[in-house]
Amino acid sequence: MKAAVFHLCFVATVAWAGAARLGAALSVEERAIVDWLAPRREEMTALLEQAVKIDSPSENIAGVRAMGARFATELEALGLTARWVDLPVESGRAGHLFAERKGARGKRVLMIGHLDTVLPGGKFVRNGDTARGSGVNDIKGGDVVLIYALKALQANGALADTQIIVAMTGDEESIGSPLELSRRSLLEVGKRSDVALAFEGGIPGEATVARRGSSSWQLEITAVTGHSSGVFSAALGSGAIYEAARILEGFHVELRKLPGLTANAGLMAGGAEASEDGFALNARGKTNIIPAKAIVKGDLRAVSPEQVKEAEAVMRGVVAQNRPRAQPVVTFEHRYPPMAADARHLGVLALYDAASRDLGLGAVVANDPAKRGAGDCAFVAPYCAVLDGLGPYGSGAHAERETVELNSLVAQATRTAVLLYRLTR
């Protein structure tokens, strides 16, 4: 069924010239932009293949830099000035690509992609109308859509005097620490833009005006230890593992009352001793010793900044009801902020929806934030009207079998190009 939708989209895009009704709402300039993009599927696929063959998981500094250099060449050819922003070596991340053209016409637009992937890759497998490889959909396909929307305007003289910044971070999938430093440049360009368009993978008929944030939490419990025969007593209490179980059950009951929020308990260890070692937790103990230590690590995804605070308060409340002889402490680390749907974002969605309808490509509505992971666009949401999910359609992002529907490259670039044209008049 999905394939049928893409096929129709593509046919509608290339066939608009023969259908006066579809083109009626487009200006002459917009028709020229659409015409320029219509036959570009193979050209876009070729750039995508080159990009996917540059292996660039977040930790691969050389790969992410090479990806940045490749896209910088494309953007400079369009008259944008590219610059590389290094991150400190200690961050373990390569840095970011920014490219900018200065002008005063219409809205100041920020276009957001990224250079890194979750999984290593370097292989691109084409199979008819689809392709498979690490990053084909998240987000190298989206980067290609971004670049071709700009190319279509440039080819038709429509970039003149526009103010456009392209931001492609090198650590979107695994942000470099400290966060304040790794997102400083993105915030800076967000503050001097009006609208931010982000090119994470698209969903047919939908775009993103709200994303959940991403935080992590850690629970550490220390308890009185002793011979197991004394467990449950007033003197020895019940140990760190029972206390962890109590708290987790409390989180499970209370946090599920917050609409749209999820909190995963992802990793746990408890015993006479428990310690952390990177992504691992180690525990030692015996069944006849009351456990002195327990550690639990988890994540938290909330729909709004207010909900993050509410969840934190709920969790601290559960933790505070500790049983005798156990001392639990919960700590939080907030990574991606949530982006709540508001009138500014819905305004850009309305323009995008109108562009899609005018193209004969159907309506576009807001998707459910629960379907989306966290994203870079949330950092600039306080300053810009944001629309995300403008990349191509596909499946299996962050998984071995990530695929992209190649026809959707053209359809999505066409929607973005018309939106960009209208924003910058």
Residues near Zn ion (CB under 5 A) are 138-139, 200
User: CB of residue 224 vs Zn ion: minimum separation in angstroms?
Assistant: 46
C-beta of 30 vs 200, nearer to Zn ion: 200
CB of 301 to Zn ion, least distance (A): 15
* 35 vs 171 by CB, closer to Zn ion: 171
* Residue 281: CB minimum distance to Zn ion, A: 28
CB of 78 to Zn ion, least distance (A): 23
Taking the alpha carbons at both ends of the chain, their separation in whole angstroms is 37
Q: Which is nearer to Zn ion, 139 or 340 (CB)?
A: 139
In 10 A of CB 250, how many CB atoms?
16
Residues in the chain: 425
Instruction: Supply the minimum distance, in Å, between the C-beta of residue 116 and Zn ion.
Output: 8
Q: How far apart, in whole angstroms, are the C-alpha atoms of residue 281 and residue 267?
A: 8
Alpha carbon distance 405, 317 (integer Å):
47
Distance CA 139, CA 142 (A): 5
User: Parallel, antiparallel, or unpaired for β 105-114 and 195-198?
Assistant: parallel
Kindly state the smallest distance separating residue 142's Cβ from Zn ion, in Å.
7
Distance CA 228, CA 412 (A): 63
The beta strands (E) that lie in 139-237 are given as 162-169, 195-198, 206-207, 214-223
Cβ 194 vs Cβ 384: under 8 Å: yes
**Between 139 and 418, CB nearer to Zn ion:** 139
User: CA 104 to CA 194: how far, in whole Å?
Assistant: 12
For Zn ion, the closer CB: 138 or 358: 138
The residue among 336 and 352 lying less far from Zn ion, judged by its C-beta, is 336
Q: What's the CA gap between 299 and 264, in Å, rounded?
A: 5
Task: Quote the least distance from Cβ 113 to Zn ion, whole Å.
Answer: 8
Contacts 24+ apart (CB under 8 A), 342-346: 344/384, 344/385, 344/386, 345/209, 345/210, 345/381, 345/385, 345/386, 345/387, 346/209
Residue placing its CB nearer to Zn ion in the complex, 150 or 198: 198
Q: By C-beta, is 113 or 237 nearer to Zn ion?
A: 113
Instruction: Tell me how far, at minimum, the Cβ of 375 lies from Zn ion, in Å.
Output: 7
Query: Residue 47, CB half-sphere, CA atoms under 13 Å: how many?
Result: 23
Q: How far is CA 256 from CA 212, 224, 252, 302, 381, in A?
A: 15, 31, 6, 11, 26
